[in-house]
Amino acid sequence: MLADIIDILICPHCGGDLRQNGASLICSNGHTANIARQGYVSLLGSHSGSHTADSAEMLAARDRVLGAGLFQPVADAIQKEIGDAGLEDVEGAVVDLGAGTGWYLAGVLEVHPDRIGLGVDNSKFAARRVARVHPRAGAIVADIWDEVPVKSGAAALIINVFSPRNGEEIERIRAEGGRLIVVTPTPDHLRELIQPFEMISVDPDKEARLEKTLVDAEESLSSGLVEWKMNLTPSEVADLVAMGPSAGRLDQARLAEQLAGLPERSEVTGSVQVWTR
């Protein structure tokens, strides 16, 4: 467990400060959380859930997709935003809400050599990966829909990529003057795969809802569209299907049939909206 990150965490039961006590974290009320052998800590509260957590297989597929650079334009857009961020005077960590493999978090930490990072995810398989993704990254298992066990104002930069959002908690943990970068898929994202692979398509009203969930903050969100084309092998298509929320919807025989029918290369669209404040 990254020792510095413990300073920004709070007890999921009473909100108190945590300190390390051997292989656990403990608050002054005696609530404890074990530090897993893999270096993350689970801070699920009594109202937290993990039914939406990604499985080990989904994370492995996501890792291959990100490792192959297929979503590089998203990382580039995040880097560009940070380049313009003017965060020099804002103290605090980089917090990735719904961090997955931690790939985007690691990219941000690379260009912020003075910051530490925290990946929050309700999947222990994600937390295991985040704990080793970068020497300055820490990882916790926590539910974004519950109170996020991070101190108020502790985040100079929050990133939230393809993951659930809790506007109230985002604003509570964001430092004064801190930045937020949210990436959401548009209805065109992976559009060539939606019908053949029975993928869940994006609800066009989702953007309106996003604004609504994040409205309470003083500054409004600005947004930009990022679109790119991917030239994919059948196994890359299989990974894109396997890493998403539609994984497991298609039965194995039908999935194999669809993959077998693909040409050597398929052109697939990437399309996301990048929201910042």
Interface residue list for Zn ion (CB under 5 A): 11, 13-14, 16, 27, 29, 31
Question: Helix (H, G, I), strand (E, B), or coil: what is residue 208?
Answer: helix
Residue 125 DSSP code: H
Q: Which helix (H) or strand (E) holds 231?
A: strand 222-232
163 binds ligand SAM (CB under 6 A): yes
Looking at this protein, which amino acid is placed at residue 171? E
Stretch that binds ligand SAM, among 6-14, 20-28, 122-130, 211-219 (CB under 6 A): 122-130
CB 181 within 8 A of CB 276: yes
Residue number with CB closer to ligand SAM (1 or 61): 61
Q: Which two tokens stand for residue 177?
A: 């003057």
53 binds ligand SAM (CB under 6 A): yes
Residue of the chain from 12, 92, 98, 138 that contacts ligand SAM (CB under 6 A)? 98
CB 131 within 8 A of CB 38: yes
- Least spacing, CB of residue 248 vs ligand SAM, in Å: 14
- Least spacing, CB of residue 260 vs ligand SAM, in Å: 26
Q: Which two tokens stand for residue 23?
A: 């292989």
162 binds ligand SAM (CB under 6 A): yes
Residue of the chain from 137, 144, 154, 155 that contacts ligand SAM (CB under 6 A)? 144
Count of CA atoms in the C-beta half-sphere (13 A) of 78 = 29
φ/ψ of residue 218, rounded to 5: -65, -50
Size, binding site for ligand SAM by CB under 6 A: 21
Residue number with CB closer to ligand SAM (26 or 55): 55
Question: Helix (H, G, I), strand (E, B), or coil: what is residue 108?
Answer: helix
Q: Which listed option, Zn ion, ligand SAM, none, makes contact with residue 123 (CB within 5 to 8 Å by class)?
A: ligand SAM
* Alpha carbon distances (Å) from 165 to 16, 31, 127, 233: 24, 27, 18, 32
Residue number with CB closer to ligand SAM (67 or 224): 67
User: What residues line the site for ligand SAM (CB under 6 A)?
Assistant: 52-54, 62, 98-101, 103-104, 121-123, 126, 143-145, 161-164
